Structure 1
Amino acid sequence: MNVKDKVIEIIAEQAVLDPSDVTMDSTLESLGIDSLGLVESIFSIEEAFDISVPFNANEPTQSEFDISSVASIIAGIETLKAQQS
């Protein structure tokens, strides 16, 4: 499973939606994911990809990790994975 599909699966699970309802332009807010759901999503992503997300749960907008949309989350994960190699 590629990064995009796995991220969409994790986010859909958090939002209690079908993965087909999650688009690249979706924001977590538009999918109904609250701050707790966001933190749980980040933990799931870290576990799934064996990465550490530079995420500030208290100030998500101040984070180096862009959570503004599904596409930006995927891009952030791909960057982190590339830095690991």
Structure 2
Amino acid sequence: MSDEIRTRVVEILAEQAVRDPSELRMDHTLDDLGIDSLGVVESIFAIEESFDITVPFNANAPGESEFDVSSVAAIVAAVERLIADRKA
């Protein structure tokens, strides 16, 4: 499922960045992609809906949130953990 998770998260972020998913690299930050704070929140909502999970994210203090949005790879890893925790 990991490849499926990565693919879907990249698609969500690419849509917010108005880019083709093939342009995203795992080391890109959301700033690199031009995703602003509203785009982050919209991405979080899309991730929650796509994977039927609840993301522990505080838009007012993203650095203090349990959900790491520092890079595409960090977001993918965080989603994978949330899905694994849900199944446990």
**Same fold per superposition (TM over 0.5):** yes
Runs of at least 4 residues off by over 3 Å: none
| Whole-angstrom distance in 2 between the partners of 1:65 and 1:40 | 14
> What letter corresponds to residue 77 of structure 2 in structure 1?
A
| Whole-angstrom distance in 2 between the partners of 1:56 and 1:5 | 24
| Whole-angstrom distance in 2 between the partners of 1:78 and 1:20 | 21
Deviation, structure 1 residue 58: 0.3
Identity %: 62
Q: Kindly provide the CA deviation profile for residues 36-77 of structure 1, in whole angstroms up to 9, marking residues without a partner as x.
A: 000000000000000000000100011011000000000000
SS in 2 for 1:5: helix
Aligned residues: 85
Deviation, structure 1 residue 78: 0.5
> What letter corresponds to residue 20 of structure 1 in structure 2?
S
| Whole-angstrom distance in 1 between the partners of 2:47 and 2:16 | 11
> TM-score normalized by structure 1?
0.98
> TM-score normalized by structure 2?
0.94
Structure-1 residue corresponding to 2:45: 43
Structure-2 residue corresponding to 1:5: 7
Deviation, structure 1 residue 23: 0.7
Structure-1 residue corresponding to 2:20: 18
Question: Does 1:76 pair with 2:78?
Answer: yes
Compute the RMSD of aligned alpha carbons.
0.8
